[in-house]
Amino acid sequence: DAGVTQSPTHLIKTRGQHVTLRCSPISGHKSVSWYQQVLGQGPQFIFQYYEKEERGRGNFPDRFSARQFPNYSSELNVNALLLGDSALYLCASSRALKRVETQYFGPGTRLLVL
């Protein structure tokens, strides 16, 4: 079975630009969560989506937004990029809304902002 897939794997942007990251969950999983992992730190929760609706939001500015599509795939958008947005962005999927403890993570998209 295919795991969680993310694209692209690596990305380089400059300050002020916009970026879109994509995630495809495991087949049958309806919940997608996004995390930011800065080098040397643990992941930080950004969003959870379930059935195309936002069900949770972490402490991130409005420059961060996301959406989930009818096929349960998801996009994370970041506007007006800052140097501090450089990080590994992880997507995780789980079968149900309240089973995030058993979520499966993708390999991440490494974003570098210059």
Partner 1 sequence: QQQVKQSPQSLIVQKGGISIINCAYENTAFDYFPWYQQFPGKGPALLIAIRPDVSEKKEGRFTISFNKSAKQFSLHIMDSQPGDSATYFCAAIYNFNKFYFGSGTKLNVKP
Q: Which residues bind partner 1 (CB under 8 A)?
A: 4, 33, 35, 40-45, 48, 55-56, 90, 92, 97-108
List beta partners, residue 25.
none
Min dist CB 16 to partner 1, Å, is: 28
Q: Which is nearer to partner 1, 16 or 51 (CB)?
A: 51
At its nearest, how many Å lie between partner 1 and the CB of residue 90? 5
Q: Which residue number, 42 or 70, has a Cβ lying nearer to partner 1?
A: 42
Q: How far is the CB of 15 from partner 1 (least distance, A)?
A: 26
Q: Evaluate whether 98 touches 33 at the Cβ level (below 8 Å).
A: no
List Cα–Cα distances, 7 to 32, 63, 96, in angstroms: 15, 20, 23
Please, what's the largest Cα pairwise distance for the chain?
A: 38
How many other C-beta atoms are found inside a 10 Å radius of the C-beta of residue 41? 10
Q: Return the number of the residue (18 or 43) whose C-beta is nearest partner 1.
A: 43
> Residue 6: which residues within 8 A CB-CB, separation 6 or more?
21, 22, 23, 24, 89, 90, 91, 106, 107, 108, 109
What's the closest the beta carbon of residue 57 comes to partner 1, in angstroms? 10
Question: Quick one: 18 or 99, whose CB is closer to partner 1?
Answer: 99
